[in-house]
Amino acid sequence: MDSHAINDLKKLLGADAVLHRPEELLLYEYDGSVEVARPNCVVFPRHTKEVVGIVQIANRYQIPMIGRGAGTGLSGGALARQGGVLVVFSRMNRILEIDVENQCAVVQPGVVNADLSVAVAQTGLHFAPDPSSQKASTIGGNVSENSGGPHTLAYGVTTNHVHSLEAVLPTGELVRLGSPALDSPGYDLPGLFVGSEGTLALVTEITVKLTRLPETVKTLLAIFDTVDDATETVVDITARGITPAACEMLDGWTIRAVEAYVHAGFPVDCAAVLLLEVDGLREAAEQHAEEVADVCRLHHAREVRVARDARERDLLWKGRKNAFGAVGRLSPTYYVQDGVIPRTKLPQTLRRINEIGEKYGFEIGNIFHAGDGNLHPIILFDAREEKQFQRAVASADEIIGFCIEMGGSITGEHGVGMEKDRLMPLLFTEDDMNLMRRVRDAYNPVGLLNPGKIFPDTKGCGEIHVRPLPVAGASRA
């Protein structure tokens, strides 16, 4: 990278906010995926004006720029695939305003997801999007990837909780999109930018919707001796018009891994559990809990437990949200997938995932958002062995291919990034992708912002290639 560009960045931000030595950059070549890409420089802006200055310098020297939150993403979206300046928002982490009367808050992108709910808890409000990484992931990163979480089923994903954005376009122009009003006229530009994976702008301020905490929450753990019984229960619950706040599934292998780590009270001798939650007014929540429990028993649940208090509820959710960490104790590396299928296809899809695991010789655990068909199979492998890495990627691709056959999609909440760009032709025609590229190019005409993401490099070939083992090794679990 041009030394003059480094010097200009230091003048703008101060030497303590610019990293460029090789040993300083090692941490930033990873995120939560199996991808690896090292930036040439890492910068830490403190306010919007500095972000504008960074973009102007990048344009002056024609250097790629990539936004990054906490680095918890699972698709390589915040990695510098073509080098360049990695703009890390960890120092822009202030809650700027809390408006209780209008149930909204204004935050900088580096605010940690869970910290906002803690900050407003005494007002009876919370920030509803709750990715499993919410104790570390930032709201800016959630906006970039349109993150979901266990309570997506009832409350929606990040885009459903964003009123407006302040953002710096790749040209250096500062814009405001949307408004704090509940129904803003005109095109839904915040809806376009949320989930654009950092390819349209660097977001510097977010006005989010705050949601009233429910009067009553009922958390149920349904225990099954077969996976099919658990998946068919999910189908039946939704067919009856019951919409739980959350409906999560863990298979037996994953349960045993979680229980050994968290001691959440999951039974270790079953094939699967459903972690279900209903909330709302007391009478309605209690009635819905009874209806959900009845459906579980109808599908041969051997036991349905109801958390007796907040402590038991928190422990069950601690088990669910620490599942990936539990798996990391058992394997040097794992690969988390993110396919989506119609709920009615859950039984055959899980059977197919098990068959793929046997075919490639991998243990594959399953923990996922069963209520909306968002699967997260976890493939355990050793990234130090190139053949294992290649087989792990091939098995993941086969899983995603089957999800598409079932009428699903290649990603639900992790994004395309640099992980699944080569799979886009399985889901979209070249005309489809060219239209999306035109939208990107309208805001990012030179292509300096987060290049090499979402779209395959080679147009029109439609071929899917297994990528080689990254030189630095896959990311660690």
Last residue of a domain, one of 212, 228, 246: 212
Phi, psi for residue 305 in degrees, rounded to 5: -100, 145
User: Please, is 266 exposed, middle or buried when counting C-beta atoms within 10 Å of its C-beta (0-12, 13-18, 19+)?
Assistant: buried
CA pair distance 143, 160, nearest whole angstrom: 10
Asked whether residue 28 is assigned to any structural domain, the reply reads yes
Query: 394 and 360, same structural domain?
Result: yes
CATH of the domain at 136: 3.30.465.10
Is residue 313 in some structural domain? yes
Co-location of 322 and 336 in the same domain: no
Q: Which of 121, 125, 120, 69 is nearest to 97 (CA)?
A: 120
- Which of 68, 88, 108 terminates a domain? The answer is 88
- CATH for 300: 3.30.70.2190
For the chain, which ranges sit under pLDDT 70?
A: 458-477
Q: For residue 48, what is the domain's CATH number?
A: 3.30.43.10
> Residue 282 domain-assigned?
yes
Residues 208 and 220 in one domain: no
Ramachandran bin of 158, using left for φ above 0, alpha for ψ from -120 to 50, beta for the remaining angles? alpha
Per the structure, the complete domain to which residue 285 belongs is given by 216-326
Predicted confidence at residue 458, as pLDDT, reads 59
Question: Which residues, in sequence order, are CB contacts of 373 under 8 Å at separation 6+?
Answer: 340, 341, 342, 343, 345, 346, 408, 412
Q: What is the pLDDT of residue 467?
A: 52
Per-residue pLDDT of 303-331, as tens digits, reads 999 999 999 999 999 999 999 999 999 99
Could you write out the three-class secondary structure of the chain?
CCHHHHHHHHHHHCHHHEECCHHHHHHHHCCCCCCCCCCCEEECCCCHHHHHHHHHHHHHHCCCEEEECCCCCCCCCCCCECECEEEECCCCCCEEEEECCCCEEEECCCCEHHHHHHHHHHHCEECCCCCCCCCCCEHHHHHHHCCCCCCHHHHCCHHHHEEEEEEECCCCCEEEEECCCCCCCCCCHHHHHCCCCCCCCEEEEEEEECEECCCEEEEEEEEECCHHHHHHHHHHHHHCCCCCCEEEEEEHHHHHHHHHHHCCCCCCCCCEEEEEEEEECHHHHHHHHHHHHHHHHHCCCCEEEECCCHHHHHHHHHHHHCHHHHHHCCCCEEEECCCECCHHHHHHHHHHHHHHHHHHCCCEEEEEEHHHCECCEEEEECCCCHHHHHHHHHHHHHHHHHHHHCCCECCCCCCCCCCCHHHHHHHCCHHHHHHHHHHHHHHCCCCCECCCCCCCCCCCCCCCCCCCCCCCCCCCC
pLDDT of residue 128: 97
Q: Which amino acid is at 154?
A: A
The CATH number for 359's domain is 3.30.70.2740
Verify that 319 and 340 share a domain, yes or no.
no
- Please choose, from the candidates 47, 85, 93, the residue with its C-alpha nearest in 3D space to the C-alpha of residue 69: 93
Percent of the chain with pLDDT over 70: 96
What is the pLDDT at residue 307? 97
**Same domain flag for 341 and 386:** yes
Predicted local confidence at residue 193, as pLDDT:
98
Residue 390 in any domain: the answer is: yes
Q: Are residues 337 and 228 in the same domain?
A: no
Q: Does residue 193 share a domain with residue 132?
A: yes
Give the CA distances from residue 180 to residues 161, 175, 369, in Å, rounded to whole numbers and listed in that order: 11, 15, 30
Alpha carbons 86 and 454: distance in angstroms, whole number: 18
Residue 249 in domain = yes
Give 408-460 pLDDT, tens digit per residue. Answer: 999 999 999 999 999 999 999 999 999 999 999 999 999 999 999 999 985 43
Q: Both 374 and 307 in a single domain? A: no
Residue 448 lies in a domain: no
d(CA 141, CA 203): 9
Domain presence at residue 172: yes
Same domain, 204 and 222: no
In a domain, 430, yes or no: no
State whether 124 and 182 are in the same domain: yes
pTM: predicted TM-score of the whole model, two decimal places: 0.93
Residue 164 sits in the same domain as residue 131:
yes
Residue-wise pLDDT for 383-420, tens only, equals: 899 999 999 999 999 999 999 999 999 999 999 999 99
Final residue belonging to a domain, choices 73, 88, 103: 88
pLDDT value of position 352:
97
- Total number of domains in the chain: 4
Same domain flag for 319 and 359? no
